Each structure stands twice: as structure tokens, then as C-alpha cells.
Amino acid sequence: MLTGKNYVAGELTADETSVFESVNPKNNEKEAKFYNASEKDVDAAVEKAAEAFPEYSALPASRRAEFLNAIAQEILELGEELIQTYCSESGLPEGRAQGERGRTVNQLKAFADYITTENWKDEYKDEPNPERQPLPKPGLLRTSVAIGPVAVFGASNFPLAFSTAGGDTASALAAGCPVVVKGHPAHPGTGELVASAIVKAAEKTGIPSGVFSNLNSSGIEVGELLVKHPKIKGVGFTGSLRGGRALYDLAAKREEPIPVFAEMGSVNPVIVTETAIEKRGEAIAKQIAGSYTLGAGQFCTNPGIILKMGDNTVFESHLKQFSEEIEAQCMLHSGIKKAFQEGKNQLLDEKGVQVLSGSDDTENNMAAGTIVKVSAENFIQNEKLQTEVFGPFTMIVTCSNFQELNSALEKLHGQLTASIIAEPEDFSSLKASVAILQHKAGRVIYNAMPTGVEVSPAMTHGGPYPASTDSRFTSVGIPAIKRWLRPVSFQDFPEELLP
């Protein structure tokens, strides 16, 4: 049963009189009321997190692992109510909801396993050598400690896997950091249900209540208060470039600047060689059509740019055909639909942009695929053509040869992914392209679409700016825990004094 209230250190609160309503994007009907968190709520949540931090971070890893596993179980026990709430708030199908729930649960379990079975603190020990000349060598133990309470911002496009108990929260809790979540207003009911699962898990495993809070907010005020609060020590964000950059700048202006790990914008270029088109162009076109429209194009790894070699227009016809066979899909909320239309129209106004397929998509929040085409020359000269259009949109960039392709790649901003669709005959010509791409993207893919992110220790889901604010870290998979840890060395320390 939804209450619409905020969870502050395990307690439901509704101090603020202002409310907002969740909306079903399929029919734009309002469904439930939620209380905006007040400044008092924010301060209480952070203060409780700071109070809980010394005890929680000092717990044996096995205790935190027990907590994470309990959260996973409590999420499963929410059952059909969670799935139905997810679907009504997001417009996404039930299969997607179930899949994302599975990913969320598995992420929690993976971090639980990691902190009990691996050297997750990255510890290294230097033995002392008092006989060394000209100076004795000290004994050193390098380990890692949690940075402190962190703020996590729920993502609009992943109500479960990148939100209340998503990868940011799971990795921070595993590291020993209390978490204050600023829920996304597009799916507050989903957020409250998951928050209730975390609260129950904390109660059952004896975890301090201040370790987790969930705050509702339909505006930017709560997020700003969280980032500026002196006891918040780090931020996790998935969303727009504008939003992520605003939080990053806000954190940098603090008396004590803190890290903001933001995943923001990426057009995820896909290179398709002429040889690959000749051998299997129709199949590639079908793959691309399915990938850029997947989930109404609302994936951070949506392939927004197709760098096509040669002048094969049959391939373009296939892509147009397969794209138009895919029915319009519901976008997450009216704000995203509006931004999609505006972003698309701005690019259509740019010089040299030719529309191959698309429609106005004015009915409710439905959107169908749009394909446009530009020359590599125009793309190289016009930086605006790299602007991400979040939704079912992709741009074909025609390249006459590998030299022109590499010139276009050099102009690319930082990306989450870059894909190469090619044949062995292309390998010698592509070596220079790969050398460029490794400095442009966090994940370089061969003969596959970028949509679909494996949650594993070898995954990098980040990239040079503006894909993310710090390309050294990933927001997906086990290495995500490193964002919430800092190294510390103990020199010549007695065992009895070590924490």
C-alpha cells in the first residue's frame, strides 16, 4: 500500500504540504499523490546517515553482505504490486519490468558475494626492512575505506536497476557508505515500494536505520540541498548532460568539493564497413533498427550515429523498412517526449540533414523511429550534429573512405560505447580507427549492437566526458564499488591498533 511519504532513516514522513502526482504515460492520467521532501527531511536524512556511518562502515563485510541479500529478497517479496506499479508509472511492458527486477536483485547479490569472497579493499602489504641502507624500510599496509554518506539520484529510464536499490545504491552500501536517495518523480511509487524493502531488510538484519533514506521531489531543490550538504561525501547520478553537469558544478563550489559520478550523454557511434554491408547488409540494418528503437530509444547505449562506409543506398532502404515496421512506443513521461521532439526538430533544422524516415508522433507520449542522413563533411564541420536525442532517433553519416571515417571519429565527443560492424578483410584498415576509439569510448564493441550491458567485473559503463564525469570508473558491475572507497596506508602499525 503506497503512502506517498518519504522514508527518513526508516520512518515515514510528510512534513511538506506540497505534493505532486504520479502519471501513467500511456494515458496521461494522474494516479497517486506524493509528498515533496522538505529541507528538514533532507537535513534529518543526512544527519542520520552521518551518525550511522562509523558503525556501518566498521561492520564486518559479512554483515553488509547479509543486508544486501536481505534487500534482494524483500524486493522479490514485493511481488506483483511492484511489477504493476512499475508498468503503470513507466509505460514499459511487464517483461521489461521483470527483467529489470532480476538485474536489480542480481546486482545486490553480486556485491554481497564480492565483499565476502574477494580482495575488494585492494589491500597491499609491504614488509618492513629495518636493515635497509641508507634508510630503513617501513612496514606499510595499503587498504581502502568508505568515503562517507552518499547521495544517489534515481534515473528516469531505469526505475529499478539505476534507481532506489540500483547499482549506485548497491555498490555504495557494499562499500560501507550510507545512502540518501533522491527519487525520480516519474516513478515515485516504484521508489517507495523498493525503499520499504530496504527498510525491512535493515530491520531484519540489525542495520542502523540511518543507513538509508528515500526522498521524493518533483523539482531540483531537494537534489541541490543534498549535494550542498557538508556531510554528503559523494554523488551518483544517471541522467541528462544538463542535470549531471549542474550537480558536478554545484559540488565543485562547496567548501569541501566532493566527487560526482555522473553518467550523462552518449550517441554511441556504430561503424559499418562497406564489406560488411555487401555481405550481410540486410541483417545489419535489422539489428540497427531494433537497437535504436529498443525501449522507445530510451537507453543510454542507444546507437544514435551510424558511420556508414560507401554509398550503398540499398542498406539505407532496408534500415528504413525495418524501422517503419516497428510500431510507435510509449515514452517514459511527457517531459521526455517533449525533449525528444525538440531535440529532433533542432537537428532537422541543421544544414545538410536529410530525413529518411520519421513522423511527428503527436499522439500522447508515443514515439516512432526517426532516421536522418548527413555527409561526413557536414558532420565534421558541425559539432551540433553530435547532440544526443534521447529517444528512437539515429543519424547515418556517410563516409567515402577510411580516412574520412577517421576524421569523423577524431571529432567525436566522449562516449559510453563505440561499435564496429566489419569483416576480417577490413581489419588492417580499421586499426587506426580502433586506436582512435579506445580514447573516445569506455566500451568498444565488435560485431554487436551497443544496447544490452552485461553486469560483470570486466564491464566498463562510463567514458570520457560528456559520457561521464570520470572515465576511470564504471557505474555497472563490481568495479563500481571503487567510486565509494578511498585508499589509506598504515605505516608501522601494531595489529592491535588497526581498524
pLDDT per residue as tens digits for the range 55-83:
999 999 999 999 999 999 999 999 999 99
In what order do the strands lie in the sheet containing 212-215?
A: 11-13, 6-8, 212-215, 179-182, 150-153, 234-238, 260-263
Q: Sign of the C-alpha dihedral, residues 410, 285, 421, 265? A: positive
180 close to 153: Cβ distance less than 8 angstroms: no
Q: Sign of the C-alpha dihedral, residues 224, 257, 485, 476? A: positive
Please give the model's pTM, rounded to 2 decimal places. Answer: 0.95
User: Given this chain, do its domains 6-264+468-497 and 270-446 carry the same CATH topology?
Assistant: no
Architecture of domain 270-446: 3-Layer(aba) Sandwich (3.40)
SS (H, E, C) 434-458: HHHHCCCEEEEEECCCCCCCCCCCC
pLDDT at 16: 66
288 close to 269: Cβ distance less than 8 angstroms: no
pLDDT band at 15 (very low <50, low <70, confident <90, very high): confident
Instruction: Round to whole Å and give the CA distance between 3 and 377.
Output: 56
**Arithmetic mean of pLDDT, 250-276:** 97
92 close to 329: Cβ distance less than 8 angstroms: no
| Counts of helices then strands in the chain (DSSP H, E) | 14, 21
**Arithmetic mean of pLDDT, 35-40:** 96
**Arithmetic mean of pLDDT, 345-355:** 94
**Arithmetic mean of pLDDT, 223-241:** 97
- Residue 19's CB is within 10 A of a number of other CB atoms, namely 14
pLDDT in tens, 322-341: 999 999 999 999 999 999 99
Buried b (16+ CB within 10 A) or exposed e, 415-432: bbbbbbbbbeebeebbee
**Arithmetic mean of pLDDT, 294-311:** 94
Taking the domain 6-264+468-497, which CATH number applies? 3.40.605.10
Q: Is the pLDDT of residue 362 over 80?
A: no
Instruction: Round to whole Å and give the CA distance between 394 and 405.
Output: 17
Instruction: Round to whole Å and give the CA distance between 466 and 265.
Output: 6
pLDDT at 342: 94
> For a pLDDT cut of 90, what percent of the chain falls above it?
94
Task: Write out the H or E segment, with its range, that includes residue 215.
Answer: strand 212-215
Polymer length in residues for the chain:
499
Q: Where are the domains of the chain?
A: 6-264+468-497, 270-446
First to last CA, the chain: 43
pLDDT at 1: 79
Catalytic residue set: 263, 300
pLDDT band at 312 (very low <50, low <70, confident <90, very high): confident
Q: Is the pLDDT of residue 474 over 80?
A: yes
Q: Is the pLDDT of residue 440 over 80?
A: yes
**Arithmetic mean of pLDDT, 247-276:** 97
pLDDT band at 364 (very low <50, low <70, confident <90, very high): confident
pLDDT in tens, 95-136: 999 999 999 999 999 999 999 998 999 999 999 999 999 999
Task: Write out the H or E segment, with its range, that includes residue 491.
Answer: strand 485-491
Buried b (16+ CB within 10 A) or exposed e, 391-412: bbbbbbbbbeebebbbbbbebb
93 close to 56: Cβ distance less than 8 angstroms: no
77, with CB counted inside 10 A (0-12, 13-18, 19+), is exposed
Instruction: Round to whole Å and give the CA distance between 382 and 370.
Output: 20
Lowest mean pLDDT among 22-31, 99-108, 418-427: 22-31
**Arithmetic mean of pLDDT, 168-188:** 98
Instruction: Round to whole Å and give the CA distance between 155 and 187.
Output: 9
CA 85 from centroid of its chain's CA atoms: 21
Instruction: Round to whole Å and give the CA distance between 451 and 476.
Output: 14
pLDDT band at 231 (very low <50, low <70, confident <90, very high): very high
Helix (H, G, I), strand (E, B) or coil at 429: helix
> For a pLDDT cut of 70, what percent of the chain falls above it?
99
Lowest mean pLDDT among 128-142, 352-366, 452-466, 485-499: 352-366
pLDDT at 303: 97
Q: Is the pLDDT of residue 360 over 90?
A: no
